[in-house]
Structure 1
Amino acid sequence: MGRRYYCEYCEKTFIDELEARKKHLQSANHMKLRNMHYEQCRDPAILLKEELLKIPCRKYFQNGICLFEGSCKYTHYSAEQLCELRQKVEQMEQKRQKTDSEKMNIPSVDSWLEKYEETVDKINNVVHLLWSYPENLSSRLDLPPSLIKFKPEHFHDDDFEEWGK
């Protein structure tokens, strides 16, 4: 016995051959069931917008069933269902606006740190050095010129040579 293909939309199994699978995937019943499945996942705002433009399906509301189901050009939603859908869309919009406004009020970490340091410095009236010379280096005599600690007399020499000579 060969492999079998199971269609989750139709809940049917059949022999897994290219022609049989292609025929099934193009069948009206499969496409109708697939569309009904994805209809449940649609964005409520788009669904509401589309359903408000449609007029009620007479057959669906008289008999409780419509042969066209998901592909019907008329709406199958009652006034109460449309009202519930509208409320759901409004709640989602309010929630989105609330999260957007919260995001806008959150400062970045860098700006928060700068503000925090300014307030701490104002309270303490202390100037903090960004870098201090390590004291263990001052006792060493074998340091290259770039690591030797500056002294005030180093800055009194204003006789600069020209660059590039």
Structure 2
Amino acid sequence: MVKRYYCDFCDCSYPYSDEAFKKHRTGHHHIKQRRAHYDKFKNARERLEDEAKKSKCRRFLSGQECSFGDSCVFSHLTQAGTEALQQLALEEERQERKMQIPTAQREGLDLSVDSWLKQRKVPLTEDSDALPGPAPDPVEILAPLNTPLPPALLSLPRLPPSLAPVTPQCYLQVEFAEWG
């Protein structure tokens, strides 16, 4: 049995030789199929630029059917199609510019320290040692930081230590090892 190359663009196979490989790769059918494949991944701006370089197809504009279809070297884009493609290109540009803005700013989130502390219900003061009244319980400060486990994890009988929920008491029972 002879080895054979397989071309994904053309969906065909041919003999395993350098001559057959070069002949296939430079063939009209392969070039057309390859171009059609990569044209699917072009954005609206690139498609609009390609169509602007082409002249209009006379058969298509006269109302007849062009026998070449999408592989025609002339443009089959009508005035309405051009306008729709321009609008699509503008929308893609807006979306691209919007994605360059950081997520928090794009969604209008406040990233200040004050908003973070308000969310955690911890007061911001100039001197934390000079708080009036008794010192806050460290367990109460850490409690808002706990996040609940997803329901899928709650149904498991034994969670690994890395997934086990952490309680404020766990922080208070930490034993520090001395190094050195």
TM-score band by shorter chain is 0.5 to 0.7
Q: Give yes or no for the alignment of 1:120 onto 2:126.
A: no
Question: Which of structures 1 and 2 has the bigger CA Rg?
Answer: 1
State the match for 2:87 in structure 1: 87
Q: 1:59 touches 1:66 (CA, 8 Å); kept in 2?
A: no
Distance 1:12 1:60 in 2: 31
Q: CA shift at 1:24, angstroms? A: 0.7
2:129 and 2:51 map into 1 onto residues whose CA distance is 65
CA shift in 2, pair 1:51/1:104, >3 Å: farther
TM-score, length of structure 1 as denominator length: 0.56
Once residues 67 and 100 of structure 1 are traced to their aligned partners in structure 2, the CA distance between those partners, rounded to angstroms, is 38
Structure 1 residues 67 and 83 mapped into 2: Cα distance closer, same or farther (>3 Å)?
Answer: closer
In 2: Cα distance, 1:15 partner to 1:80 partner: 47
How many residues are paired up?
121
Q: Structure 1: give runs of 5+ residues left out of the alignment.
A: 130-165
Change beyond 3 A, Cα 1:104–1:55: farther
Cα 1:42–1:5 change in 2 (3 A) is same
- What RMSD, in angstroms, separates the aligned Cα atoms of the two structures? 3.4
Share of identical aligned residues, percent?
22
Deviation at 1:68, TM superposition (A): 9.4
Match of 1:144 in 2: none
Q: Which structure features the higher share of helix residues?
A: 1
Q: TM-score, normalised by structure 2?
A: 0.52
